[in-house]
A and B are shown apart, each in its own frame.
Chain A
Amino acid sequence: MMILETDRLSITFGGVRALDGVSIAIESGQVFSIIGPNGSGKTTLFNLVSGIYTPNDGSIRFAGEMVTGLPPDQLARRGLSRTFQNLQIFSRMSVLENAMVGRHRHERTGILADLLHLPSVARQNEVTREAAHDALARVGLADAGKRPAGSLAYGALKRLEIARALASDPKLLLLDEPAAGCNPVETQEIDYVIRSIVKDGITIVLVEHDMRLVMNISDRVHVLANGRTLTEGTPEQVRSNTTVIQAYLGVHGSKEAVRAFD
């Protein structure tokens, strides 16, 4: 079954076609990576799929439903979750509270119940807290729950964002450069976390520059260049595709290429 399909998705910013007719189809349970040089439209694609931008053209289908133009919160309530390249942590809240916010779409209360702290609210808080704690445990942050989120190190913040997204029990998780700016140890931790998520059958869409991570973990790799699809295939196919090497790896990531081809 296809969990996410886009059909000729396009968006223009001030005359520049940031994304031009990109169609992708992602099968449930896969790790689907989107790669391409800087400015090729990867994050734009994420922003379109997660509802932050509205496409000028084309359509998006999520879990069998047309969702083109729906706002992010409604997509999230349908089970689409994402992280950000530039972190969007709730830094004034504790680590645990961050993950608890991730449970929002499962919480059912009204404003009056919340104001009066009815027993239903207390019970639900308990459930939320437990689920949030579990999500933190999955990324190795179980012991950091009480700390202010703003006090965590960069790599831990990256994992906290993943935990927060996981707490929402998504069907589809979009990870926007989860390893960007991380040192090798932190990248290793992220790699480990992603693999454990995949095992749970959550579909992952990954935008990432770390080629070793991408090639190791992906079922399919979709290559963008200048807002258009260059090619798509298995990691082996993409790796040996000469246009990809010329357009992307050869110019921008030669070092990465050498490492990935080891």
Chain B
Amino acid sequence: MRALLETRLMPAIVVAVIVIILPLLFPSAYYYRIGVLVFIFALAVVGLNLLMGFAGQVSLGHAGFLGIGAYSVAIGPIHFGAPSCLFAGAILSGALAFLVGRPILRLKGHYLAVATLGLGLLVAIVLTNEAGWTGGPDGMSVPGLVLFDWSVRGAYTWYWIAGTTFVGGFVLALNLMGSPTGRALQAIHDSEIGALVLGIDVARKKLTIFIISAMYASVAGSYLALFNGYITPDAAGFLRSIELVAMVVLGGMGSIVGSLVGAAVLVVLPQALTIFHEYEQALLGLIVMVFMIFLRQGIVPSIVAVLDGENDDPGD
């Protein structure tokens, strides 16, 4: 039993150790900043991976939930005088996911992709046009987070907050996948009809994971806004949604560790490539392409497959 528990949470322990050790290698505060962004995006990507990689339901509008989370920590204090309500956005996103989830999740494949795309665009348009609330395309500044008289600021502090939250989200995701719900979701991915005839309420399971996934993205959005101190509708935009999907696919669909790797690559790489100036974007695209061609299951699953292959009995 003890051994079982250890193997189940092993990836989480490894990730926690990475979070703790990484700062020892950081030469400047700038690296803390990158670290924060990696963990924030990785959190959103873990959520999206639960939906895409495990349950097999694509979402091209997840930045919409990111945007809701981001704007709720800005609009809450400014327009309602509510002290930075960290999880209000998550509740709002969850509620929106609940409302639109049932009709949308009846769709499959490309149709679902387009429907979620529409959802994301809708959120982005509302955030852009409701200038009285959101500051319009120019965005709005976000009051700093204050927890019990403690004003949370600085990359160093945020590194630990984002890191801890990410590990927490990571553990929840691991837990879920090792549970009846997690098995049901993976079953739905491979055969909805097979899942149905085993008594799985497919529509309800899909809705559940859509809501959870939306809440992950929303919390990440709230953190992003609080950390940057400023937010524009781009946070909810189409490109951001695509970026999240790219992180999931690059790291590995259905690999929770892959979510961290995918987010890290797509956050760090653009920073590293700035020395190439105008070729930055082209190089980024090229590298992602090469990754996908040679590691088509995503970085982490491909590496795992190679390692497993070496251990395998050749006669098997």
Q: Name A residues whose Cβ lies closer than 8 Å to a Cβ of B.
A: 50, 52, 71-77, 81-82, 84, 88-93, 97, 100-102, 104-105, 107, 109, 111, 113-117, 121-122, 124-125, 128, 164-165, 168
Contact = CB atoms under 8 A, between A and B. Distances in A.
B177 to A, nearest CB: 9
A191 B29 CA distance: 69
A101 B198 contact: yes
Contact of B200 (A50, A81, A91, A104): A104
Nearest to B211: A111
Given A109-B181, A124-B180, A101 B187 contact: yes
Nearest to A113: B179
25 contacts: A73-B196, A73-B197, A73-B199, A73-B202, A75-B197, A76-B197, A76-B200, A90-B190, A90-B194, A92-B190, A97-B186, A100-B183, A101-B183, A101-B200, A104-B183, A109-B181, A111-B212, A114-B176, A116-B175, A121-B175, A122-B1, A122-B5, A125-B178, A125-B180, A168-B198
Interface of B: 1, 5, 8, 172, 175-176, 178-184, 186-187, 189-191, 193-202, 208, 212, 254
Contacts of B201: 73
Mostly, the A contact residues are: helix
Q: Is the interface of B mostly helix, strand, loop or mixed?
A: helix
Nearest to B179: A114
- List of 6 A-B pairs having minimum Cβ-Cβ separation, nearest first: A88-B194, A114-B179, A105-B199, A76-B199, A117-B175, A90-B190
A165 B180 CA distance: 16
Given A73-B199, A168-B198, 19 more contacts: A50-B197, A71-B196, A73-B196, A75-B197, A76-B196, A84-B193, A88-B193, A88-B197, A91-B190, A93-B183, A93-B187, A100-B183, A101-B195, A104-B183, A104-B199, A111-B212, A117-B178, A121-B180, A168-B199
B175 A73 contact: no
A76 B202 CA distance: 13
B180 A92 contact: no
Contacts of A168: 198-199
A52 B192 CA distance: 11
